[in-house]
Structure 1
Amino acid sequence: MEASGHAIEVRDLGVRFRRNRRGRRSLKDLFADSSRRSKPGEFWALRDVSFDVRPGESIGVVGRNGQGKSTLLKLVAGVLIQDEGTVRVNGGVAPLIEITGGFVGDLTVRENVRLTAGLHGMPKAEVARRFDGIIDFAELHESIDTPYKHLSNGMKVRLAFSVVSQLEEPILLVDEVLAVGDKAFREKCYKRIDELLSEGRTLFFVSHSERDLRRFCTRGLYLDGGRLVLDGEIADVLDRYNADYDAG
């Protein structure tokens, strides 16, 4: 397939879940059931979703809870596999989703930085070069040899954001990470995202914060009932979402 020039391409995307189980269906279920019709106890978290994202665009995804926003982000990240349609991502991703996942409780902060950065594809020499900057940003100098499981939730978030925001991947996926942490750290996160956007990174951003969406995004995707209701300028998308919310 020839390169299209898009950072992200989504076509007729659909994914379904079972209500009576946690998570996706098992591999046995997937191989045994090739039907695209919903079975009892299943629902479509996303259906018939299509859009393109150009390199360097800043996209905000809006909608009420349970409408498919985080599911869409995980599909773009490759964490979930769709039941219908296609997702094509042209370039590596830096995923700020379920941000503290992947860290090992018994390993120290130092060991976890090396492990998680390596798992994200950062070469050892690059990890060593960026190590002090990661610790500085996370403000964890005094806890560098502390086991991860003994960190506070705020410290864990600071560490995770610091590691992932150092990745040089062209596409940044963010899911509500700016809603955590204290005000001072959020401001550091804002500045870091501004820096990444100034470098021409692509941002795919899920948030309930209208302030953050207006600050970082120029375009919006409004999901309702797992379907794409509106794709347009972020101000227009937020106006439509707010009007629908107020209408109940």
Structure 2
Amino acid sequence: GDYLAITTLGFGEIIRILARSDWMAPLIGGAQGILQIPKAALTGWFAWAVSWIQLPFVWLFYRFGITLLEVDRNGQIVFGTPPQLYFLLVLACLLMLFVSRRLNNSRTGRQWMAMREDEDVAAAMGIDTTRVKIIAFTLSAASGGLAGAIFAAKLGSIYPHSFQLLISINVLALIIVGGMGSIPGIVVGAFALVGLPELLREFAEFRLLFYGIALMVMMLVRPEGLWPSAVTRREMGAEQTAPVTAGD
């Protein structure tokens, strides 16, 4: 739940401090970061698959002046330009949406939902909570690692300050605002929390103040999120229609 996410943010900050230490400098560069990161590329079967996937969108590419992705003589597709990186990000998002959707309807996904509601009851029903937590952390780290790899390839060099704690807090906020456990809600929350600061950019130093007020109003008006999951909608509906007894 929320407490686990906050704890994860704390451990992430600890790892960031360790990464900047002299002890880790020989391994990952320390405060100097990692330099001269090669451009993102796909090889082998994946490169040919992507080259075929883009064919139905050739007309759209030409309309916006986007260079088609071509397999070079080494059998690679190199994502060198911003439009090509955007195409790679779209592919990564579609992949993660597909995986999340499949996990949500799988046995593992139902185990996650059971643990979210009541971990003790889930353990009593025979769910190995430790194993399920490890799977959740592993898959979450894999998705974050995929996004981080694309981010690093785009910049060419990364430093400890390239991904600050505020960005992680914004990611947690968009999940809560969009709707915990709702895949469409997370997408809507991302559009809302990424677009809102850009709309408020002209207010300069008051931008973050308005941003915080909007988040507080959102949590008061729609605590379940912009697009809650079906389970959350049923729970909220049951609370609203529950009869009030004389003792209440």
TM-score (norm 2): 0.26
**Structure with the larger RCO, 1 or 2 (CA within 8 Å, 6+ apart):** 1
- Structure with the larger strand share: 1
- Structure with the larger helix share: 2
Q: Which has the larger radius of gyration?
A: 2
TM-score (norm 1): 0.26
